[in-house]
Structure formats: C-alpha cells, structure tokens
Amino acid sequence: MRSPAYPDTDLELREIEPGLSAYVCPKSGGVWIPISSYLVWQASHKIAPSGPPNEYAPSPADDSKRRAMLCPESGRFLIRYKVGHGFNFHIDVSPVTGGVWLDKGEWEALKSKGLHVELNNIFTASYQRKVRTEEYVTALDQAFRDRIGPADFQKVSEFKTWLEDHPKRRDIWCYLSNNSEEN
C-alpha cells in the first residue's frame, strides 16, 4: 500500500499499540489504520486517557495548501473531519473502506484524551455538531472580546460565571434588564 501523504512511498506494517496493527509512512510518520484491525482492537481496549490533554498535540498544519489524499486501499479520496474538543487538527477517513489516516503525532494526541478508543465517534453527525458549536462559542467570545476589550471582557466573564451559579440569577437578570434601558 502507498502512503496518502507520499504516494511514491510504501507503507510499513507495524504494531502501534499492543494488538493493533497499522501501516506507517516512513517519510511522514503518518499512520493508516484499517477499520477491521481497529474494530478488533477497540473491542478489547476501552482504556482511560493516558496523559494530560494536548500533551502530544501536533502542531496545526496549513490545510489550505494540503492536497487531497487518496485511500491506500481503495484509491478514492479521503474525507476530512475536525477533531475539535481542544485539538486543532483533522482526521482523514475513507468513505469506502472506513480506514483512517492520522498524521504524525495525532494518535498520541487522541490517546491523551482517551479518544483513540472511540475514534469512529469523531465521524458521527452529533460529534461534528458539537465541534461546530464549540467553534461558534469560541468565535463569539472572541468577537465580544474585540468589541469591549480584554479587561472588560474578563470582568463580564467573571460576572457571567458568578451569575450562572447564583440561586437568584433570574431575579438579578430581571433587575439588570429593567434598569439598563438606554435613553
């Protein structure tokens, strides 16, 4: 099989975890995980996260310059999915074979949050919806930070956190709403 990252390079079969065989690209360090191998391994390896979040997080690649990659098994284009949840990278999956391509360091990053044992969940609509929601909230926070300034944004964020936990938050919100009309 040829590497999706370097089509002129053959992938090498290796064990990336005890009982999980995958194909590694000797040039890029990327890993092709056939879905059949993964599902057999996954069934017997529900493991807790092995390290602190993002300990092995790979540096984000410039995806705008990345060319489309081909599945080493089917020759079809791979589809990219955002990982999100604190990670700034994508995972490529074959729509034909279900195999997964991970760039160098991505397996370790997923493992740091225990996502390596639930890899197939990343490709679900509900997971991707959560990723988009996280991105929206982050962008909205940044927009408000830019509009009101970092110091005031910090104060408002602290107040918001305090208000969310307050037993009389509805009364406080009502008071603020009724007494803050612009004239």
User: Residue 51: what pLDDT?
Assistant: 40
User: Residue 47: what pLDDT?
Assistant: 52
Position of tokens 């791979």? Answer: 78
In tens, the pLDDT along 30-70 reads: 999 999 999 999 998 765 444 433 333 444 445 555 678 99
* Distance (Å) of CA 124 to CA 119, 132, 179, 180: 10, 13, 45, 43
In tens, the pLDDT along 90-108 reads: 999 999 999 999 999 999 9
pLDDT at residue 182 tops 70: no
* Whole-number average pLDDT of the chain: 87
Residue 30 DSSP SS3: coil
54: closest CA among 118, 106, 92, 122? Answer: 106
Region 158-171 average pLDDT: 91
User: Residue 177: what pLDDT?
Assistant: 85
User: Residue 142: what pLDDT?
Assistant: 93
38: closest CA among 112, 103, 130, 115? Answer: 115
Q: Calculate the CA dihedral of residues 27, 104, 71, 95 and round it to 10 degrees.
A: 180
pLDDT at residue 75 tops 90: yes
